[in-house]
Amino acid sequence: MPRRRPGRPRRDETRPTREVVLTAAAALFAQRGFDAVGLREVAAAAGVDVATVAHHTGTKAQLYDACFARVFEAERDVLTAAAEHARAALAQGPPAALRALHDLVDVFVDFLEDRPETTALWLRRWLEPQRHAELDQRYAAPLYRLVAELLDAAAASGALVEPTPLVTVRALVWAVHGHVVALAAGGESPARQRREFRVFVHRFLDGLYGPAGPAGP
């Protein structure tokens, strides 16, 4: 067995090497962006050599893409399940549909609170909107469409009125990312921030779609 170089962190032997590399790379890209991170730094953070990084993930651009693919797959799994539950609720009428939307938003907030590195990774990418824009098409747009199509279906069923579903989805997504950033910044009690944000986001949904909400333009 080759000796570990002095100063190199020991690799986590309980997880596949590719997963260890992606975890290390995502953290570095989230902290510093694409240009400021090299494969050697990723290798050092993962406790492997640079050839191992290249073997498992390819070039730096391919590694960057793989980091977004990884968070997309996890997010897609939880949102798809919540969206399917919400679709099934449409046939039960407006109250059930609205409750299901509240549940879907809770699932999304839970996901990002538990995985703040997802927010950090996306925010770094969005600092340069024109660069790596294809990542948005592959790993953000499908999730936006998933929820927007759900809102379209709810509107078609008469469960709610929603004239601009993509705008609504974008507003909610950015609100939750902003909440995660505020948590990461520290300051006031995290428990209080979480509680107050949940109250806000549910008031937002009720304002849009509840019985007293706006009827659209």
pTM for this model (two decimals): 0.86
Q: At what angle do helices 50-57 and 17-32 cross, to 10 degrees?
A: 100
What percent of the chain is modeled with pLDDT above 90? Answer: 84
**What is the band of 15 on the pLDDT scale with cuts at 50, 70, 90?**
confident
**pLDDT at residue number 214:** 44
- Looking at residue 187, what is its pLDDT? 76
Coil, helix or strand at residue 57: helix
What is the crossing angle of helices 94-114 and 60-90, to 10°? 160
CB proximity list for 2: less than 8 A, separation 6 or greater? none
Confidence of residue 8 (pLDDT cuts 50, 70, 90): low
Res 88 pLDDT > 90:
yes
Residue 186: its pLDDT value, please? 84
- pLDDT (tens digit, 9 = 90+) per residue, 157-185? 999 999 999 999 999 999 999 999 999 99
- pLDDT mean over 13-32: 90
Q: Which of these, 72, 73, 101, lies nearest to 85 by C-alpha position? A: 101
pLDDT recorded at residue 1: 40
| Residue ranges of domains in the chain, CATH in brackets | 17-57 (1.10.10.60), 67-209 (1.10.357)
